[in-house]
Amino acid sequence: MTLAHRIIPCLDTDGSRVVKGVHFEGLRDAGDPVELAARYNVEGADELVVLDIAASRDNHPTFLETIRRVAQQLSIPLAAGGGIRSLEDARSVIRAGADKITLNTAAVERPELIRELSNEFGAQAVVLAIDARRENSCWKVRVHGGRTATGLDATEWAMRGIASGAGEILLTSIDRDGTQSGFDTALTSTISKCVGVPVIASGGAKIPRHFFEVFTEGAADAALAASIFHDEVQSIRALKSYLRENGVSVRLPC
Amino acid sequence: MKVTVIDYRAGNVTSVERALRRLGTEVSAANRPEEILSATCLILPGVGHCAALMGALDAQEIRNPLLERIADGIPFLGICLGLQALYESSDEAPGFAGLGLFKGRVSKLPQTVKLPHMGWNQLRASRPSALLRNISPEAYFYFAHSYAAPDSGPENTALATHGRDFMAIAEHQNMIGVQFHPEKSGAPGAQFLENFLRRAA
């Protein structure tokens, strides 16, 4: 009777197609978001994240349509983000069928946005996405898809975001993203152990052992991956069986 | 049977409507007093802040029509905040009165665990119920909340645990509340909704 550790496939989109890059660069097409969503829904994904990594103003209507079509496929929760800068943007995304909003750059630029969304939709609907890169002995927050340094310390920013009403942290290691060399368990546990909200670890997953490590050493509540699921390198079902055999609580669909 | 889903404009009711339509049910969304008064089966999905829900019930003048229809005995299902609204009050919204149909106060889960209670958890049935028909005792349901109802009362059908025990399925006569989101709980969630519709029919 404990809360299951969640496995979350992530669809990074250009608004309408799924794309994937390494270290946030070199994007290639990775499929149709609606088809992938339908597959993950039946394979036992615990939640789905859809991000608009182009996140331009012009793209917003296209992205809303993608959210609508993806949501139609799902009987699991959906988080969506990218380019959400106002309460109105967030409301349109929720009305399109998302259960949660993820905020990244816009929250750094205007931290009050977190409070505005949390007051309206509740903390459970506001996910603060943090892209962190190691600098000497600590982790610093970067924005604009990892291109821009902010000088913010990742732990301090996470705590500020939670104090403002974020109900969850989506923590991406820029150093590990796309490398398939394993999650950054040191980064994940540092943040997870000093915040009182769930932490979703992201960046670097390839094999089942990586997930085991991030749920145990990394103290993550959920783990997110993209290309290994899209490319069918790893099935969600087999991953969950492995985790259960190794004593990690997971939900097996029944 | 036609189901009326109360849309108080603060949350996402689309997923509830979609889940019901998948089961072949006729669904309409409503937020006007006269629509509530003519409903034959009501669902109150609750997402967001408790004060927003309570405030909307009063601002949109649907509190009394809702209480009236529930008193008439029509099937009612409250989801998440919709369950919490059935109680007398909530620590999340101290200035607001709940519907007061179940005794007790909604309070915050202990901070010894991560909050919100977010993700998939299991239920512990307190008694047999038609609502749990064809649902494995091992099944997981999706939760997303920080406040929860008490762990006892005549409405206790199933409990869940996160830091403390709390009401996961509250059921008394025609009034049913669930703390989890059946519309986002995969196959067991769909089975639960089907059981509710069957019980309502």
Give me the domains of chain B, ranges plus CATH numbers.
2-200 (3.40.50.880)
Query: Stretch B97-124: mean pLDDT, rounded?
Result: 97
> What per-residue confidence (pLDDT) applies to A27?
72
Query: Stretch B152-173: mean pLDDT, rounded?
Result: 98
> What per-residue confidence (pLDDT) applies to A25?
62
**Peptide bond preceding B116 in cis form (omega within 30 of 0):** yes
Catalytic residue among B80, B117, B162, B194: B80
Would the CB atoms of A75 and B140 count as touching at under 8 Å? no
> What per-residue confidence (pLDDT) applies to B183?
96
Asked if A201 and A183 touch (Cβ cutoff 8 Å), the reply is yes
Q: Least CA distance to A194: which residue of chain B?
A: B114
Q: How confident is the model at residue A54 (pLDDT cuts 50, 70, 90)?
A: confident
| Distance from chain centroid for Cα B55 | 17
Rounded to an integer, what distance in angstroms lies between the CA atom of residue B89 and that of residue B79? 16
> What per-residue confidence (pLDDT) applies to A22?
54
The answer, for B121 touching chain A at a CB cutoff of 8 Å, is: yes
> What per-residue confidence (pLDDT) applies to A23?
52
Read off the pTM: 0.96
- Which residues are paired to B76 by β-bridges? B42, B175
Per-residue pLDDT at B33 exceeds 80: yes
Asked if A4 and A198 touch (Cβ cutoff 8 Å), the reply is no
Per the model's pLDDT, the better-predicted residue between A213 and B11 turns out to be: A213
Q: How confident is the model at residue B95 (pLDDT cuts 50, 70, 90)?
A: confident
Rounded to an integer, what distance in angstroms lies between the CA atom of residue A45 and that of residue A80? 16
Rounded to an integer, what distance in angstroms lies between the CA atom of residue A252 and that of residue A7? 11
> What per-residue confidence (pLDDT) applies to B154?
98
Q: How many CA atoms are closer than 13 Å to the CA of B98, on its beta-carbon side? A: 25
**Residues 6 or more apart whose Cβ sits within 8 Å of residue B89:** B96, B97, B98, B105, B106
Rounded to an integer, what distance in angstroms lies between the CA atom of residue B114 and that of residue B92? 17
Place of tokens 């769930």: A198
Helix axis angle for B14-22 and A60-73, nearest 10°, is 40
**Residues 6 or more apart whose Cβ sits within 8 Å of residue A176:** A182, A183, A184, A203, A204
Per-residue pLDDT at A254 exceeds 70: no
User: Which of B52, B115, B186 lies nearest to residue A253, judging by beta carbons?
Assistant: B186
User: Which of B48, B118, B184 lies nearest to residue A168, judging by beta carbons?
Assistant: B118
**DSSP state for residue A230 in the 8-state scheme:** H
Q: Kindly list the residues from chain A whose CB atom is less than 8 angstroms away from the CB atom of residue B10.
A: 120-121
B66 torsion bin: left (phi>0), alpha (psi -120 to 50), beta (else):
alpha
How much is the ipTM here? Answer: 0.94
Residue B171 catalytic? no
Asked if B127 and B167 touch (Cβ cutoff 8 Å), the reply is no
Residue B183 catalytic? yes
Would the CB atoms of A197 and B19 count as touching at under 8 Å? no
Query: Stretch B78-90: mean pLDDT, rounded?
Result: 96
**Residues 6 or more apart whose Cβ sits within 8 Å of residue A25:** none
User: Which of B12, B111, B124 lies nearest to residue A95, judging by beta carbons?
Assistant: B12
Taking alpha carbons only, the member of B198, B175, B199, B200 closest to residue B71 is B175
Per-residue pLDDT at A61 exceeds 60: yes
A→B contacts (Cβ < 8 Å), by residue, are 1-4, 6, 41, 46-47, 71-72, 74-77, 94-95, 97-99, 119-125, 167-168, 196-198, 221-222, 251, 253-254
| Minimal C-alpha gap between B163 and chain A (Å) | 10
Q: Least CA distance to B16: which residue of chain A?
A: A75
Rounded to an integer, what distance in angstroms lies between the CA atom of residue A109 and that of residue A113? 9
Domains of chain A (ranges, CATH numbers): 6-245 (3.20.20.70)
> What per-residue confidence (pLDDT) applies to A68?
96
Would the CB atoms of A196 and B114 count as touching at under 8 Å? yes
